[in-house]
C-alpha cells in the first residue's frame, strides 16, 4: 500500500490520507517526496475543489520517523551534517507553503496525535477539525530544536503570542477541547463523526464559485502580511474583478435567483 492515499469523489472533494498506521503515520524521507508531489499536482488540478488531510489508524501524524525514516534522496550523500540537515529541512518546509498556496482549501481532520511536523501540518491547513482523541504536541523538542516548518509564525497567528510561547516552549499537549477553545482547531467533534464533519464543511465550500474560493483563500493568507487596510482592499479588489469575470460567477448568481444548486464548468 502507498504511504500517501489520494481519493477524490465525483463532487471534487479529495481525501488525502497519511497511510503508515503502524508507525503512527510518522514520515520517512520518501513519504515527504510523495506528499510534495501530490500537493504540487494539485496546483493545476481543476477537478479537485477541497482537500481533506487525515491519518490512517489511531494517529494523524507522529512527526518524523526517527527509527526507519531513511535518508533524504534529494541530498548529496557526501555532505557534512549541517549541510545535509539544511538541505533536508529546506525541502520538507515546502509542504506547509504548498498547503497554503494551492487553490483548494485544505481541511485537517486530526485524529489522535498531531506531533512535531504533524502539528505543523495541522496549523498549515486552512481549517482544522479535531477529533476528541486529538492531541497537539510540539515534540520537535525531542530532536533538540523546538520549532520548524513555520510553527513559530503560524501558531501565534492562530492562538496569540503568549499562548503560542507557552505551547512551543513547554511542549505540553493540547487536547481537542482546549484546541477548539483557543482557536487552534475550528471545532472538536466525536471521532466517529470526524470525516463526516470534514466532508460537510467541504461541501459547503463546493457550493461557491471555484475561482472565487481560490482567490479568497489567496487573499486571506496574503493579507496576513500586508502593512495596511488599503493594501488588503487592493488585493481583494483585484481578486473580485478576476472572479466576477468568470462564467461560473454568472452561473452562481443565476442559480441563486432560481433557487437551485449551481453547475460550475471551470470557465
Q: What average pLDDT values come out for the chain (267 residues) when binned by 10 residues?
A: 94 97 94 95 96 97 84 82 85 95 98 96 98 95 83 95 96 96 97 98 96 95 93 92 90 91 92
Final residue belonging to a domain, choices 181, 205, 229:
205
pLDDT of 69 reads 67
Give me 78's grid cell.
557526501
Half-sphere exposure of 251 (CA within 13 A, CB side): 16
Q: Is residue 96 part of a domain?
A: yes
Q: Let me know the angle formed at the C-alpha of 63 by 59 and 67, rounded to the nearest 5 degrees.
A: 105
Farthest CA pair distance, the chain: 66
Residue 78's pLDDT is: 84
Identify whether 263 is part of a domain.
Answer: no
> What pLDDT, on the 0 to 100 scale, is given for residue 145?
81
Together in a domain, 56 and 165: yes
Domain of residue 217 covers 209-258
264 falls within a domain: no
Per-residue pLDDT, 82: 83
What CATH number does residue 214 fall under? 1.10.12
Count of domains forming the chain: 2
Residues 126 and 221 in one domain: no
Do residue 114 and residue 27 come from a single domain? yes
Write down the pLDDT at residue 84: 82
Q: What is the predicted pLDDT for the residue at 3?
A: 94
**pLDDT given for residue 142 in this prediction:** 78
Q: Which residues contact 263 (CB under 8 A, 6 or more apart)?
A: 251, 255
Amino acid at each position: 500500500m502507498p504511504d500517501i492515499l489520494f481519493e477524490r469523489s465525483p463532487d471534487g472533494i479529495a481525501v488525502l490520507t497519511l497511510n503508515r498506521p503502524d508507525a503512527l503515520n510518522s514520515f520517512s524521507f520518501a513519504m515527504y517526496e510523495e506528499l510534495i508531489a501530490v500537493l504540487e499536482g494539485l496546483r493545476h488540478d481543476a477537478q479537485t475543489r477541497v482537500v481533506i488531510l487525515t491519518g490512517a489508524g489511531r494517529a494523524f501524524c507522529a512527526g518524523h520517523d526517527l527509527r526507519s525514516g531513511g535518508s533524504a534522496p534529494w541530498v548529496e550523500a557526501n555532505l557534512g551534517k549541517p549541510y545535509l540537515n539544511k538541505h533536508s529541512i529546506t525541502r520538507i518546509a515546502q509542504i506547509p507553503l504548498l498547503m497554503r498556496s494551492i487553490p483548494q482549501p485544505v481541511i485537517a481532520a486530526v485524529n489522535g496525535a498531531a506531533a512535531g511536523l504533524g502539528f505543523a501540518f495541522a496549523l498549515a491547513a486552512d481549517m482544522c477539525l479535531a477529533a476528541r482523541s486529538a492531541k497537539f504536541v510540539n515534540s520537535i523538542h525531542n530532536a533538540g530544536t523546538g520549532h520548524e516548518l513555520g510553527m513559530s509564525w503560524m501558531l501565534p497567528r492562530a492562538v496569540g503570542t503568549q499562548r503560542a510561547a507557552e505551547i512551543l516552549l513547554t511542549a505540553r499537549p493540547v487536547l481537542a477541547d482546549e484546541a477548539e477553545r483557543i482557536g487552534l482547531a475550528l471545532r472538536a467533534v466525536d471521532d466517529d463523526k470526524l470525516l463526516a464533519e470534514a466532508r460537510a464543511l467541504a461541501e459547503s465550500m463546493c457550493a461557491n464559485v471555484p475561482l472565487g474560493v481560490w482567490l479568497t483563500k489567496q487573499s486571506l493568507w496574503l493579507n496576513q502580511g500586508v502593512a495596511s487596510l488599503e493594501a488588503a482592499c487592493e488585493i481583494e479588489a483585484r481578486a473580485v474583478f478576476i472572479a466576477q469575470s468568470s462564467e461560473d460567477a454568472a452561473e452562481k448568481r443565476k442559480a441563486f435567483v432560481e433557487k437551485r444548486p449551481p453547475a460550475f464548468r471551470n470557465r
